[in-house]
Amino acid sequence: MSRNSNASNSTQPPPIIVTGPSFTIYGEIHNDIDNRFYERLYTRFTQNDRVLLEKTTDPEILQLEQRALQVIPDVSAYLHTIGGSEWLYTKGLIDGKSFEPIDIRIECGYPSQIQLRSLEEFAKTHPVDFIAFFFKTLKMIIHHKDRLNRPGIKERFNTFPPILRTQIQTYMKYLEDGTIDMESVFKIKTNLQLLGVLLVDAHLIDLITENNKKQNKKHLHIFVGARHANNLYECLQIDNLEIRKTAKGELIQPLEPLE
């Protein structure tokens, strides 16, 4: 992730911002960021703010990143190479601030983004193992379906398994004929990625709900990808919910399975 070096003189906000009675969700496009917005916001956080970031909750990965940060020769130079929620997390570590990771996917056993992005190549080189990977992942998702039993999230989740089963059946039929159906592989990869979005969003809904129940609740600043922000706006059942979108934000589509 790098900063947007072509930003105009005016600071560009994330493409989607969702506001509620005790929270703000900032939806960024991870590879297109004007970090000045984050730098300015960082200086305004107070003890009444709680910052949640789309960062893995897996303790082993977090520990490795903290160790790596300790051996980087020039941390200031490194900060200039990253932006958005990644910059906020790293800057918070340096300054001793307690910013909270909220991406529970890997901790729940979900494949990493690196694994999912490489699925097409994996299907080409290990077609039988790809089938095993698919069923293992789908089994894990169904195992965590109680986490997805939230209004809005549950309805979206239920549309995925039938479509995924049809797609893997198509893939297996082609494989029996000695052919790899890359169209089915692409659809499977995309739908598994979208299911991961739902897992994180359901977790965020729980955190927002828990915070709203507290007598001395803090204001939640939630930094996630634009797709998460858009989906949360559609799924959250909270009064006085507002959404602001830039032109880029208008391009973010509703979270639906790829058929």
**Domain count within the chain:** 2
pTM above 0.85, yes or no: yes
Question: What distance in Å separates the CA atoms of residue 221 and residue 49, rounded to the nearest whole number?
Answer: 7
Domain that holds residue 87: 16-106+201-251
Whether 180 and 218 share a structural domain: no
Q: pLDDT tens digits for the chain (259 residues)? A: 444 444 455 789 999 999 999 999 999 998 899 999 999 999 999 999 999 999 999 999 999 989 998 899 999 999 999 999 999 999 999 999 989 999 999 999 999 989 999 999 999 999 999 999 999 999 998 898 898 999 899 999 999 999 999 999 999 999 999 999 999 999 999 999 999 999 999 999 999 999 999 988 999 999 999 999 999 999 999 999 999 999 999 999 999 999 9
- Closest by CA to 15, choosing from 44, 4, 99, 2, is 4
Q: Are 86 and 1 in contact (CB under 8 A)?
A: yes
Q: Are residues 153 and 206 in the same domain?
A: no
* Strand order, beta sheet including 219-225: 100-103, 49-56, 219-225, 23-28, 16-20, 242-245
Residue after which a domain boundary falls, among 155, 179, 196: 196
Contact status, residue 1 vs residue 89, Cβ threshold 8 Å: no
In a domain, 11, yes or no: no
- DSSP codes, 159-216: THHHHHHHHHHHHHHHHHTT---HHHHHHHHHHHHHHHHHHHHHHHHHHHHHHHH-TT
Report the distance separating Cα 76 and Cα 78, nearest Å: 5
pLDDT for 102: 97
Looking at residue 11, its pLDDT comes to 85
* Residue 215 belongs to a domain: yes
- Residue 10 included in any domain: no
Q: Decide if 7 is inside a domain.
A: no
> Nearest-CA neighbor of 131 among 183, 170, 82?
170
User: Are 79 and 91 within 8 A, CB to CB?
Assistant: yes
Note the pLDDT of residue 7: 44
Statement to judge: residues 222 and 160 lie in one domain: no
